[in-house]
Structure 1
Amino acid sequence: MEQSQTDRNPKTQSIPPYMKAISGSVGGVMEACCLQPIDVIKTRLQLDRTGNYKGIVQCGATVYRAEGVQALWKGLTPFATHLTLKYALRMGSNAVFQSAFKDSTTGSLSNQGRLLAGFGAGVLEALAIVTPFEVVKIRLQQQKGSSPELLKYKGPIHCARTIIQEEGIFGLWAGAAPTVMRNGTNQAAMFTAKNAFDVILWKKHEGDQTVIQPWQSMVSGFLAGTAGPVCTGPFDVVKTRLMAQSRDGGESKYKGMIHAIRTIYAEEGVCALWKGLLPRMMRIPPGQAIMWAVVDQITGLYEKRYFYSSAAL
């Protein structure tokens, strides 16, 4: 019994950050391939100032009829690359932060420490990965038409180079402030909620030598992914507007995060700050479900191989 308690000590059974990073990157690829059309629709709805799109279905159908089915996967390369790098950094850095916030005596992690670790991981991913990749993705997604020769941006690399040439290197970090607020808040809530749902629903603790089923991971991940979009909707809309506007010599409509919030509210009403919420709800919780199903299985295999074998010895 004493050996069993020692083996289950969270201080000695923590999964290393590199395994969390690997599992997150694989989960990101799966999520991107499955949910890219929802992300395209969300971006088009958020950029629609004149009411051309009446809803998710009508927007998707309009894009399909006018630009072809491939248009629903516009920006997939930067989106998939972005998710792969983002989840690797998110999962790995969160594991590092959690280790730093653990009690040095007991090895336990408080809810406050889990929130801070999640927020830190969100801020880091926002600055290092999310902002420049989303700027490129959104510039590609907002282009309408199916003829490449008529499009300003020919692809992700060309888009990034054009932005740098016209707007400077910091053009790739347009909308960084709302992105930091969105991702920091999202990850603080998500990691805390995912752990809570695993414990409440499945009695699963990291390092407890049990592996939950993929459908259980999907339920926990889906539920954990629901709160963020509602809380961070205005940050996401402002982020998209700031990233989409080109500053190649002309006057920028939005001067920054606060100015954008005030302008959108004054011109379009408070509901405009939650534009694209439904497609976000259709994308983020299912995306978290897919990602966590992959992550939990990979980390579960690691637990089985290394924690079980060490316990047997």
Structure 2
Amino acid sequence: MVADASGKSSPLISLCAGGTAGGVEAFCTYPFEFAKTRVQLYGHGSSRNPFRIVGQVVKEEGLSALYKGCSTMIVGSIGKDAIRFVAFDSIRKMFEDPETHTLGPAQSIMSGMVAGVVSSTAIVTPTERIKTALIDDAKTLQRFRSPWHCVATLAQEQGLRRALYAGYVTTTLKQIGTTGFRLGSYSIIKDWERSRGYNVDGPLASFANGAAAGTITTLATQPFDTVKTKAQQAKAVGTMDAVRIIMAEDGFFKGFWRGTVMRLGRTVMAGGILFTANEQAAKMLRALLGPQYQ
């Protein structure tokens, strides 16, 4: 993913570039994430237009409300993308062709899936849980004063494990699918273009390939994201309870693909930003750190 011409990549470069890309992407696209989460929590009774949701929140709750929970997501995104880029690059090295430094489609997707499990367990589930609880609380009881206060309150009421790892199964399934499809499809597209002599290292190519990977990812994994959001609201809701609530409210297609427009708007842009920032950060870090970190 963050490789030089020989196909090799330093774990330090992958870690720093992935973390930088995750933070940039999270901040730039958070209003879409906020709108998507609101629709997934309360979508059966409100507008599904992301721009209308954003406008309503600004009018009723103020501009700052759009970034409720953003700091948690930025921290989570820095850690998540740092970990999954390192994991993906490390796993990719084990399976890639030693001469061409490319992977087959199945190997690319499998490498991404394993990276998804690692990132979900290490950082994604806790930060997603806190972010979702903060967004839910801002709409309802408004009792959480900060991310730390949110964690302390939920831990006291529900226990630390549930406070941080509610929705772990669906979050991990989502990360397996998301990371597998996103990193896997990006790698497949990039390897295919490189094999045909196209320049894949420029910002425009990185953005276009990342946006395409984001579209594929969103459509394939939306049900997991919807159930995950419902299971991570402020009050304790089990995974199967979340499934039943969604089915009762909106039915199968309308319910499980709730928030697709918002998430698609975010992930298409996020995919472009993420991979472009990652590639450019890697280039700058390699130039700054010298050949020993190539």
Q: TM-score range by the shorter chain?
A: 0.7 to 0.9
**Contact 1:122–1:188 under 8 Å retained in 2:** yes
**Contact 1:204–1:212 under 8 Å retained in 2:** no
For 1:306 and 1:50, the matched residues in 2 are separated by 52
CA offsets, 1:133-157, max 9 Å, x none?
A: 01110111123469xxx72111111
- Structure 2, unaligned runs of 5 or more: none
**1:59–1:92 distance in 2 versus 1, CA, 3 Å:** same
Paired position in structure 1 for 2:147: 156
Asked whether 1:295 is paired with 2:260, we answer: no
Match of 1:198 among 187, 190, 199: 190
Alpha-carbon RMSD across the aligned residues, in angstroms, is 3.0
Asked whether 1:176 is paired with 2:165, we answer: no
Pairs within 5 Å for 1:70-219: 70-102=64-96, 109-144=103-138, 151-171=142-162, 172-201=164-193, 212-219=201-208
Q: How far did residue 180 of structure 1 move?
A: 0.9
Q: How far did residue 222 of structure 1 move?
A: 0.5
Letter in 2 for 1:280: R
**1:152–1:306 distance in 2 versus 1, CA, 3 Å:** closer
TM-score by length of 2: 0.88
**1:165–1:98 distance in 2 versus 1, CA, 3 Å:** same
For 1:65 and 1:202, the matched residues in 2 are separated by 48
Letter in 2 for 1:225: G
Letter in 1 for 2:218: P
Match of 2:55 among 57, 61, 68: 61
Match of 1:34 among 28, 35, 42: 28
Letter in 2 for 1:177: V
Paired position in structure 2 for 1:240: 229
Q: How far did residue 235 of structure 1 move?
A: 0.8
**1:160–1:305 distance in 2 versus 1, CA, 3 Å:** closer
Q: How far did residue 17 of structure 1 move?
A: 1.9
For 2:292 and 2:62, the matched residues in 1 are separated by 53
**Contact 1:225–1:284 under 8 Å retained in 2:** yes
Q: Secondary structure at the match of 2:145?
A: coil
CA offsets, 1:154-190, max 9 Å, x none?
A: 1111111111111111111111111111111111111
Letter in 2 for 1:160: V
CA offsets, 1:280-313, max 9 Å, x none?
A: 00111211111111111133346678998999xx
CA offsets, 1:110-142, max 9 Å, x none?
A: 333222211011111111111110111011112
Q: How far did residue 21 of structure 1 move?
A: 1.3
**1:219–1:50 distance in 2 versus 1, CA, 3 Å:** closer
Q: How far did residue 218 of structure 1 move?
A: 0.4
User: Based on CA coordinates, which of the two structures has the bigger radius of gyration?
Assistant: 1
Paired position in structure 1 for 2:213: 224
For 2:26 and 2:9, the matched residues in 1 are separated by 25
Paired position in structure 2 for 1:46: 40
Letter in 1 for 2:41: L
Asked whether 1:265 is paired with 2:259, we answer: no
- Structure 1, unaligned runs of 5 or more: 1-6, 248-253
Letter in 1 for 2:188: A
Q: Secondary structure at the match of 2:51?
A: helix
For 1:54 and 1:98, the matched residues in 2 are separated by 39
Q: Structure 1 or 2: larger helix share?
A: 2
**1:151–1:37 distance in 2 versus 1, CA, 3 Å:** same
Asked whether 1:255 is paired with 2:244, we answer: no
Paired position in structure 2 for 1:4: none
The count of residues paired between Structure 1 and Structure 2 equals 289
For 1:299 and 1:204, the matched residues in 2 are separated by 24
For 1:22 and 1:45, the matched residues in 2 are separated by 33
For 1:295 and 1:57, the matched residues in 2 are separated by 28
Paired position in structure 1 for 2:265: 282
CA offsets, 1:29-69, max 9 Å, x none?
A: 21122111111111111111551335222211111111101
Letter in 2 for 1:97: I
Letter in 1 for 2:108: R
